[in-house]
Structure 1
Amino acid sequence: MEKLKDIWLEFYQSERETADWWERKKVLCEERDAKIVRIKGDGHIFQKIRFANDVSYRYLLHVSFFIKQMDRFYIEEDVTPYTFRLVDGEIRDHKRLVAKSESSNNQSLVMDELQSDSVANDRFTYNRHDAVQYAERWWNSYNPAYRKFDVDCTNYVSQCLHAGGAPMRGAPVREKGWWYQGDNWSFSWAVAHSLRWYLSGSTQGLKGKEVESASELIPGDVICYDFQGDGRWDHNTIVVTKDELGMPLVNAHTDNSRNRYWSYEDSTAYTTDIKYKFFRIGE
């Protein structure tokens, strides 16, 4: 096990030093008057497959960044899946595992549902503390009351919103409302693109008010990401706290992360065409 730990940490270090995302992360810290003062990593093998003299491993690398920003210290955490093969003792094909992207061709159906929402204007009391507490409890694990998705970011954010008191509605029609029920769920519950549009248009139950900048968000709010800038929304996060400059730090699933800077400029999915949507929840 110690040998394998050395393998994944050495690989992470070599990948980091040559990766664009690492350079972007360092620049991002400098722009925020922040500095990474220590990095700690560990791994956990979750799959081992042996075939003759070829052994394939899949593991989760948990990296903690100890960050100092002005007079404040905080820990950012990231858990990323990797894979490699050992063939006659030689490491081959060591790389990140990339989750399959979410897909939904139901944008028009969701938009039709949003138009029907206009007949009502129900309010709910959003408990931001409970939403953030849930986000912290489950950022790197999975509530057995819900299904775990390969691309789990929106499912996780939806669970956080529901923990904060957001009411479900629309079951059992998947194109309607926002809900999770047994072994079924709405598109808006689990698909990033659908939740983005639902938050934009819902006028009853769960709803969001779009604001202009990330600085206007507070813990419990939601950020949506279109990494390619092509109109297909790929990812969602929940704000859990703010840094010393008043900017959001977020939690997320898929590549599980905690206290990550909101802009995702240090993500391997980041492009210069990225677009964001910022939603105040419950307003």
Structure 2
Amino acid sequence: MATLNRSKVLEYVDKYWNRRNNQFFDYGESDCTNFVSQCWNYAGIPQTNNWKPYDVLTGRFGGTPSWTVVDDFANYMVNNGIAKIKWSSTEAKVGDIIQFYNEARGGWYHSGIVSKFDTTYGLCYGSSRVCQEFCVFSLAHHILR
């Protein structure tokens, strides 16, 4: 079983939260789960035939929904024993994935990486194009660890 290196997660978040890694396809405003997949892959979770990105270097398709789609990512990680779902922010650790739910938006719609805990705001996360200082208050969410 692969082990997640949480310091590597933060290293990747710090480097790429505000700029694109050109080795990966850019999904524009819908890039969040692609970004967290890159983070966890960099930090030790290996790609498989069922969890892999679009190959931007060769131009080959073949990326999987579990790499880019919020609920598919969660299902893959849980069903393959890589992560467990936690329903409380108090259980979150730096390097965990936080996913947000909004019924009006069709369900699970956004993924981010827990990047720190702030004494003023609480749980903070990084995602592509979102400042690491954006903090979670009472949004419906779950944690993947």
Q: Which TM class, normalised by the smaller chain length?
A: 0.7 to 0.9
Answer whether contact 1:218 1:248 (CA < 8 A) is retained: no
Residue 195 of structure 1 and its aligned partner are, at CA, apart by 1.1
Query: CA–CA distance in 2 between the matches of 1:275 and 1:248?
Result: 13
Unmatched tracts of structure 1, length 5 or more? 1-122, 171-176, 266-273
Matched letter for residue 186 of structure 1:
T
1:202 CA drift (Å): 2.0
Q: Share of identical aligned residues, percent?
A: 25
The higher radius of gyration belongs to: 1
- Separation in structure 1 between the aligned mates of residue 87 and residue 121 of structure 2, nearest angstrom: 15
Q: Which residue of 2 aligns with 1:247?
A: 122
- 1:137-171 per-residue CA deviation (whole Å, 9 max, x = no partner) reads 1011000111111211111111011111111112x
- Using the alignment, how far apart are the partners of 1:199 and 1:210 within structure 2? 9
Shift in CA distance, 213/229, structure 1 to aligned 2, threshold 3 Å: farther
Q: Which residue of 2 aligns with 1:277?
A: 142
Post-superposition offset of 1:246: 9.1
Q: Secondary structure at the match of 1:215?
A: helix
Matching residue of 1:178 = 51
User: Would the aligned equivalents of 1:217 and 1:278 in 2 still touch at CA under 8 Å?
Assistant: yes
Whole-angstrom CA distance in 1 between matches of 2:69 and 2:119: 32
- What per-residue deviation string (whole Å, max 9, x for no partner) do you get for residues 218-277 of structure 1? 111001111226763110000111112793210012x522121124x6xxxxxxxx5311
Shift of 1:194: 1.3
Q: 1:258 to 1:181 in 2, by over 3 A?
A: same
Alpha-carbon distance in 2 for matches of 1:147, 1:256: 18
Aligned counterpart, 2:101:
226
In structure 2, what is the equivalent of residue 142 of structure 1?
A: 20
The aligned residue for residue 48 of structure 2 is: 169
Q: TM-score under structure 1 normalisation?
A: 0.45
Asked if the contact 2:126/2:133 (under 8 Å) is kept, the reply is: yes
Higher strand content, 1 or 2:
1
2:87 is the counterpart of 1:212: yes
Quick one: distance in 1 between partners of 2:69 and 2:54? 16
- Write out aligned runs for 1:198-209 (5 A): 198-203=76-81, 207-209=82-84
Secondary structure in 1 matching 2:103: coil
* Residues 1:153 and 2:32 are matched in the alignment: yes
Please list every run of at least 4 consecutive aligned residues from structure 1 whose deviation after the TM superposition is greater than 6 angstroms. Answer: none
Question: 1:201: how far off?
Answer: 2.0
**Mapping 1:35-114, distance limit 5 Å:** none
CA distance in 2: counterparts of 1:127 and 1:167, whole angstroms: 12
Structure 1 segment 6-45 matched on structure 2, within 5 A:
none
- Structure with more relative contact order (C-alpha pairs < 8 Å, separation 6 or more): 2
Aligned length: 139
Are the aligned partners of 2:125 and 2:134 in contact in 1 as well (CA < 8 Å)?
Answer: yes
Q: Identify the residue that residue 59 of structure 1 maps to in structure 2.
A: none
